[in-house]
Structure 1
Amino acid sequence: MKARPIRAALSAAMLISASLLPLPAAQAAEPAEVQVGLLAPMSGLYARPGQVMRMGAEMAVADINKAGGIQALGGAKLKLVVIDSGDSTEKAKSAAQRMVADFPGLVAGTGAYLSSFTLAVTEVTERARLPMLTLSYSDQITNRGFKYIFQTSATAGKQADIALPTILDLAEQASGKRPVTVAIVTDNTAASLSSVKAMKDGLLDKYGLKLVVDETFTPPLSDASSLIQQVRSRRPDLVFFLPTVISDAKLILEKMNEMNVRIPLISFGIAIAEPDVLNTVSPQLLNGVMSAVANWGAKGQEGLIERMRVEYKEPWMTQNAISTYGDMWIIKAALEKAGKADREAVAQAMRALDEGKSPYFPGGELKFDEAGHRVGAGLTVIQWQDGVPVTVFPQDLALAKPIWPGK
């Protein structure tokens, strides 16, 4: 009869001992996911660029997680939270307010495509002390004394200063004549106006250029006739045209073709180089058109470009995809440096980053100055050649040699 209590006591002791042993690896708790945000237009007029930004972010998050996640956090995986900014400044600001309210666990984010959206969004994220990366161009973004905004692209004013001498040298080498007169045809979005301001405030004079046509419009355009009539009557050597909506770029090109205006076009931004342009504009009409952009699929990124083609059916990799891809790696680097999933710690880590040259951004380093500019940020010049906009500058990233329109 005494054997039963003894056996029961032994069984209880064994259970207690077993509970003190470490769990097998298969049963160990997984590190918590780390939320990172993408705030960009997923609906409305600017949905296409926003959706491409999502593609780049998804690819990077998948690559980071596949490579072991955040090592400093025990291999924690990134979780992408996508918020639709809509297609207006008011909607973008409202979306940012929802983002910080609904996702308090976010440690960092990227967005918001148009500079006007980014300016509104970062008013909200700055108050929430949420570090935000952006490819938006406007000089105003990092000129407000904010501490939680990080601009990976060269600002619009800086891009114009980099691009102008490059384009003028190319024109002289190819045609034997240096351009003297220029036209500006621009929409009134923040990034476009920043580029135009830089040119008018000294860059045109600096490079000996005379402005003979100066036209600004509100997107979307319904008719480009009066704009192109001005260009045709003045016959400038170059036309700087800065649309941010694909339909506007299409309308301008078609009107130039209709009016037989054969003047080299130099753009700033990606509207002219979106794949959708080919739905209505022929490759022949686009051939030779250039654009200065903050980033583009380039030499060394052929694998990513191919993945975009295979996984997402995208014919090439625009700045929206490659920059947002790179942003996720910046957030990873900041998390590794911070050692914890805390937005203030991540912001401090971003300010202290010094990672050397980045494989995902042209020029400069993965390092930010006190204002939040990426140090030494450059740009790429792309050109339509045989139905594809390819990187032609800088030389170390070029996938093709540039041609001068008409030559």
Structure 2
Amino acid sequence: MFSISRRRIVAGVTALSLALSAPLSAVAQDHPDTVKIGMLLTLSGIWARPGQSELYGAELAVKHINEAGGIKALGGAKLELVVMDVGDNVERAKNAAQRLIAEEPDLVAASGAVISSLTLAASEVTERAKLPLLTLSYSDQITDRGFQYIFQTSATGETQARLAMPELMKLAESAGKTPKTVGIIMDNTAANYAFVEPMKNGIFAEHGLELVLDEVYTPPLSDATPIVQKLRSARPDVLLLLAIAVSDVKLLLEKMSEFGLGQGKIPIISNGNGIAEPNVLDNMDAALTEGVMSVIGNFGGKGQEKLAEELKVVYNEPWVVQGPVSGYGTVMIIKEALEMAGKADREAVAEALRTMDLTDGPAFYFPGGRVKFDEKGRRVDAGLVIVQWQNGVPVTVYPPELAVAKAFWP
């Protein structure tokens, strides 16, 4: 729609080797007409929805930048997205990254790959190519490997766990509740492990919580009955329901309702955007979501009404989930890096990303309000958003500067 290059690629080993070994100066351009940004996204399979919504935000950012005159430091060069589908498994993600680099040697940066497990795989390829990769994925492993060309815009899973639990417990106490037991139902993706491991290794104990249910499954679920039967037996005071695939969210919530464990019976807290996507409501009663909360690395909130309105008009998006706001902000970060670098060169862009420290512009689109990356590539002062389903819509209830509604303990 907005100057996007979608390609069918047949890339051989020779082409890949040449792309990975080519000197960076060979693809640098001081005054190009177009500057290309790669997008490694989940556009098919069980995680297609979050990948598609991230693309929406990136497309709008490219449109706005190009309409405003492009990259000023490059004589008004326009941005172009080169989109590659990483599917829903590790091998496809790695292959997509290889094809992208082999076919597009003049990329200056990339974004991807939405799901932490896929980002871990794709980033091995982009790192060898010295291609800066910005990601909204949560896993701490992504930036724990000593890579120099990876930049994590969301708070890591462990950071989210440590920031969120005190707020959630305060909310419970404000309602006169003191949870003593907790259960976990989660898919086996890397982001979920990053969130729950610090919980199990100290955070639960710090808050007086005993783990009474710990169920892990491989998505997608075909039958939630065995898991929910275990939940009914354990009856925790609060449930961490960590399902990234929307189909799994719906299956679990519906089965919980069938077993008398639905809305108002056990408070549900999730992590990530899967439980807040609009298509959660496809063929499901909105009442099943009432009160459900999720800790998310990014989400639309107060002050982002203009972006929300444009997403609704152009893409029929009813609310701003993590994908579009992060996708928009990420392209804006790359734009600022290009302005700082003064040339369309991936090494120069990487150095600009390492040295930038912004509290305006792109920073507006990330909780914490600052775009600065530490030596690992993690965004300094990265915050989080807590979202709660209220009256059929997920709304931001934390932090206060982004909140559009008051949270309640289900």
Q: Same fold (TM over 0.5)?
A: yes
Question: 330, 344, 350: which one pairs with 1:341?
Answer: 344
Establish whether residue 256 from structure 1 lines up as the match of residue 282 from structure 2: no
Kept in 1: contact 2:115–2:137 (CA 8 A) = yes
1:107, CA displacement in angstroms? 0.1
Question: How far apart are the structure 2 equivalents of 1:87 and 1:283?
Answer: 27
Question: How far apart are the structure 2 equivalents of 1:146 and 1:73?
Answer: 28
The residue number in structure 2 matching 1:190 is: 190
Kept in 2: contact 1:33–1:79 (CA 8 A) = yes
Structure showing greater Rg: 1
Question: How far apart are the structure 2 equivalents of 1:142 and 1:364?
Answer: 20
- Secondary structure in 2 aligned to 1:371? coil
Deviations 1:334-365 (A, max 9, x none): 00110100000000000000112510000151
Kept in 1: contact 2:32–2:344 (CA 8 A) = no
1:46, CA displacement in angstroms? 1.7
The total of aligned residue pairs comes to 375
**Runs of 4+ residues over 4 Å off in structure 1:** none
1:45, CA displacement in angstroms? 2.0
The residue number in structure 1 matching 2:237 is: 237
Higher relative contact order (CA 8 A, sep 6+): 2
Establish whether residue 363 from structure 1 lines up as the match of residue 364 from structure 2: no
The residue number in structure 2 matching 1:20 is: none
The residue number in structure 2 matching 1:201 is: 201
Deviations 1:280-335 (A, max 9, x none): 22111111100000000111100101111111011111101100110001001100
- Secondary structure in 2 aligned to 1:79? strand
Counterpart amino acid of residue 53 in structure 2? V
The residue number in structure 1 matching 2:15 is: none
- Secondary structure in 2 aligned to 1:36? strand
Question: How far apart are the structure 1 equivalents of 2:194 and 2:357?
Answer: 28
Question: 328, 332, 339: which one pairs with 1:325?
Answer: 328
Counterpart amino acid of residue 398 in structure 2? F
Superposition RMSD on alpha carbons, in Å? 1.0
Question: How far apart are the structure 2 equivalents of 1:228 and 1:44?
Answer: 25
Question: How far apart are the structure 1 equivalents of 2:235 and 2:300?
Answer: 34
Deviations 1:359-402 (A, max 9, x none): 00001511000000000101000011111101000011001111
- Secondary structure in 1 aligned to 2:387? strand
The residue number in structure 2 matching 1:122 is: 123
The residue number in structure 2 matching 1:299 is: 302
Deviations 1:188-242 (A, max 9, x none): 0110111111111111112211101111111111111121122212221100010
Counterpart amino acid of residue 391 in structure 2? D
Question: How far apart are the structure 2 equivalents of 1:265 and 1:41?
Answer: 26
Kept in 2: contact 1:288–1:384 (CA 8 A) = yes
1:117, CA displacement in angstroms? 0.4
The residue number in structure 2 matching 1:34 is: 35
Q: Give TM-score, length-normalised by structure 1.
A: 0.91
Establish whether residue 173 from structure 1 lines up as the match of residue 174 from structure 2: yes
Counterpart amino acid of residue 345 in structure 1? A
The residue number in structure 2 matching 1:96 is: 97
Deviations 1:153-193 (A, max 9, x none): 0000110111111111101102x122111001111011011
- Secondary structure in 2 aligned to 1:266? strand
- Secondary structure in 1 aligned to 2:365? coil
Kept in 2: contact 1:72–1:340 (CA 8 A) = yes
- Secondary structure in 2 aligned to 1:396? coil
Among the aligned pairs, what percent are the same residue? 58
Counterpart amino acid of residue 363 in structure 1? G
Kept in 2: contact 1:392–1:400 (CA 8 A) = yes
- Secondary structure in 2 aligned to 1:359? helix
1:1-400 alignment, distance < 5 Å: 31-174=32-175, 176-261=176-261, 262-356=265-359, 358-400=363-405
The residue number in structure 2 matching 1:8 is: none
- Structure 2 portions without partners, runs of 5+: 1-30
Kept in 2: contact 1:364–1:375 (CA 8 A) = no
Q: Give TM-score, length-normalised by structure 2.
A: 0.90
- Secondary structure in 2 aligned to 1:146? coil
- Secondary structure in 2 aligned to 1:200? helix
Question: How far apart are the structure 2 equivalents of 1:363 and 1:282?
Answer: 34
